[in-house]
Structure 1
Amino acid sequence: MQRSGPLSPAGDRHWRGSARLAVGCALAFGTLAVLVDWDAGTLTTPRAALWLALSVAVFAVLLPQRVTAGHGWLMVRGPLRRHAVRTDALVSVWQYDEVSTRLVLRDTYGHRLELDSRILAANPLLWHDLDTGVRRSRERGTLRQGDDVLRRLTEQIDGETAQAVLRASGLA
């Protein structure tokens, strides 16, 4: 009998498509800027370097954060920084309702992580790993703040999942 190893971490299944879109937009911007500058007869080496730098900036702005989760942890990686929290040692959970709903998690080690809650709704494996960690935090008594936020988020994600199942089965 073969022993199975540790489970691989769950990740955002839509990240690759969003990253490809960021690359495409940056390439389109850079190409169009160079072509317009070249057609006007004003393209020089410093201007081409400027368009290249601006294209890299467009890519960095549009590249989404990469969210992964495993047994007891959740990590968000951006182009420059990486944030991780222990989901089985959470102290607080906050939610900011602005243009996009941001979820802020803080663990007992002082680590803080911020992510868009829509990523959790779109990725059931990420949500499952976070939910499992939250349950462990409750059992251990470390979670002091955020039960109402987590309850609302659970209801929202469960409702969206139920709607998706009904649509897929042709009942809705």
Structure 2
Amino acid sequence: MRHADDPRDDAVRALAHQPSEVAYDHLWAADLRSSIHCSAVLLSLLLVIDWVAGSCTLWRGALWAALAVVFFLVLFPPRVAAGEGWLASRGLLRERRIHTGHLVSVRCLDGVGQRLVLRDTFGGRLEIDPRVLIANPPLWHRLNEDAHVSANRGSLTCGTITLLRLSQRIDRETARTVFKVSGLE
């Protein structure tokens, strides 16, 4: 028989109220460094070319710096995170978040840069690069589990084939990585 002030009850309550684990894009910092480096190289090259040509002035230097800042803003990678029931992508100015347990559609847009477009029942819309999911298995795992919840609820009406293709692609990439690391490739 337990007493009302049993310390085990506190431990159980503490475990029950812990938030689920959040998965992050672990390559985001490297992508951010790359965008900074590319912008710095562009600025350096423009200033060196201008200096060698003998036309470097303060105004032209400011123009090249502004161009490098715009280039950085274009290259700035969104930070993707996922938890139980949600997926978020945070850019420089705002965060977009969808409820992955209430997905309505998942589409893959092909083009120069492939994008995965997710929509939820609350009107939320999120675009992410599928390579982020491929490079981060915990993010894919969270999205895949919640997509199954959506499918079981009947809210996911469009996109099960897209998710299946993405799952197969992730499995291929994972197998290729395992073979490469083990020296079997």
Q: In the alignment, which residue of structure 2 is the partner of 1:84? A: 97
**Please, which of 45, 48, 63 is the counterpart of residue 76 of structure 2?**
63
| TM-score where L is the length of structure 1 | 0.90
Please give the secondary structure, in 2, of the residue aligned with 1:6.
coil
Per-residue deviation, 1:105: 0.3
* 2:54 paired with 1:41: yes
- Report the Cα distance in structure 2 between the residues aligned to 1:6 and 1:142, rounded to whole angstroms: 25
Amino acid at match of 2:128: L
Per-residue deviation, 1:8: 4.5
Q: Does the aligned pair in 1 maintain the 2:106–2:163 contact within 8 Å? A: yes
Larger Rg belongs to: 2
For structure 2, the 5+ residue unaligned runs are 1-7
For structure 1, the 5+ residue unaligned runs are none
Q: In the alignment, which residue of structure 2 is the partner of 1:164? A: 177
- Report the Cα distance in structure 2 between the residues aligned to 1:42 and 1:171, rounded to whole angstroms: 56
Percentage of pairs with the same residue:
46
Q: In the alignment, which residue of structure 1 is the partner of 2:85? A: 72
Q: In the alignment, which residue of structure 2 is the partner of 1:93? A: 106
Residues 51 and 130 of structure 1: CA distance in aligned 2, closer, same or farther (over 3 Å) = same
- Report the Cα distance in structure 1 between the residues aligned to 2:157 and 2:182, rounded to whole angstroms: 40
- Pairs within 5 Å for 1:118-157: 118-157=131-170
Please give the secondary structure, in 2, of the residue aligned with 1:143.
coil
Please give the secondary structure, in 2, of the residue aligned with 1:74.
strand
Q: CA RMSD in A?
A: 1.8
Q: Does the aligned pair in 1 maintain the 2:47–2:61 contact within 8 Å? A: yes
- Report the Cα distance in structure 2 between the residues aligned to 1:9 and 1:35, rounded to whole angstroms: 45
Amino acid at match of 1:104: V
Q: Does the aligned pair in 1 maintain the 2:21–2:84 contact within 8 Å? A: no
Per-residue deviation, 1:67: 1.2
Which deviates more from structure 2 when the two are superposed, residues 1-10 or residues 63-72? Answer: 1-10
Amino acid at match of 1:113: L
- Pairs within 5 Å for 1:96-115: 96-115=109-128
Please give the secondary structure, in 2, of the residue aligned with 1:46.
helix
